[in-house]
Structure formats: C-alpha cells, structure tokens
Structure 1
Amino acid sequence: MQGLRTQETNKFKKFFSIVQDAAKKNGCVFYLDAGDGRDFETDSLEGEDLMGWLIPERMAEEFEPIWKRGLVSDDWSEYFGFAIWENQNSPTIKFNI
C-alpha cells in the first residue's frame, strides 16, 4: 500500500486507507513515518494518530524512493506533520502540517 513501508495488520491497512482518502482530497499522498499514540481498536479497524509527510501528488514520484530508503532530508520538512483521527467508529482525519 502506498505510504506504508512495513507489514501491518488488515485492520490497520483499512484505517490507513481512510488516511490516504483524506490525503487524496487534499491532492496529496501521506507517507507514514511513525505512530504518535492515541491508539484505538474496533471490530474492523485499528489505528492511532500518525506522523509523516503529506506530499502533493505531483511530487510523490520524486519523494517515494527517498522515503522508501529512509533518506528523507530536511528539504522535505515543510511537508512533515500529523494525521489526527476523530471518531473511532467512523474515522475522519485532519492533517496538522
């Protein structure tokens, strides 16, 4: 799944697809760096607030290989921030970049 570097559970992947849908509405792709707490779990989802890069779609092709190698420089810091969830039963995502 675009934006993930590690193996994740199906429940987390379902949550992350909600994150990516929210990013897409902003013309972006979200690339996960790490979880940031406030975990939740339901019968079908698990997630938490996330840290990562909200990259404009037009720049994703350039950014993704750098991110996959773990070599993201400070040049990308303006795109780094948080994906914050609300309402665990029907999550919505707000980006704080």
Structure 2
Amino acid sequence: MSTFAIILGCIVFMIVVASVRGDPGRAIADTTLLVILAGIVAALDFIVSRFMDTGYAASLVIILVAGGLALDSLYGLMAPERQKRRDKKLRRLMKRRA
C-alpha cells in the first residue's frame, strides 16, 4: 500500500507542476511512460521470481522511476529554458533516427 501511495504522490506532483507550467500534456505523457515501465518491470519480476526470490526489488525500481520523473518535472519548472533546449535536442536526435 505504501508503494502505491508514493507512486500516486509522484503522479499528482507531476500533474500539479505541469499545470503550473501550463503544459499538463507532458504530465500525462510522463504518467503513461510510468505505467508502461511499471508493466514491463512487473512482467520481468514475475518471470525472475520463478527462479529466485526478488523481494521488493520491483517496487523499489518503480518508486525510483516515479521519483525520477517527479524530479524531472520539478527541474522543468525551475529551469524551463534548459528543459526546452533538452527537448529540442531530443527531437533532433529522434528525427535523425527515423
């Protein structure tokens, strides 16, 4: 239950920060990314737990990812110009690969 509360808190924090910035679509995209990564980690945990005891490793990974995304949204609020430059670089990189 505490893992769920921490992840939910990070999601709410991302949405609030993105709303303050005026770009809630980015928070929705980050939330979608978090859900996809949670599914991947859960599937990997299910497979690996067949062979060894994984304990709370999957929960820890998802909490760290959610915290990282929350810190990324805070960084975007504190330094929007750097965030925009990073986004432009990522777009150029993705266009070259496509």
Using structure 1 for the length normalisation, give the TM-score. 0.34
User: Which one has more relative contact order, counting CA pairs under 8 Å at least 6 apart?
Assistant: 2
Using structure 2 for the length normalisation, give the TM-score. 0.34
Which protein has the bigger strand share? Answer: 1
Which protein has the bigger helix share? Answer: 2
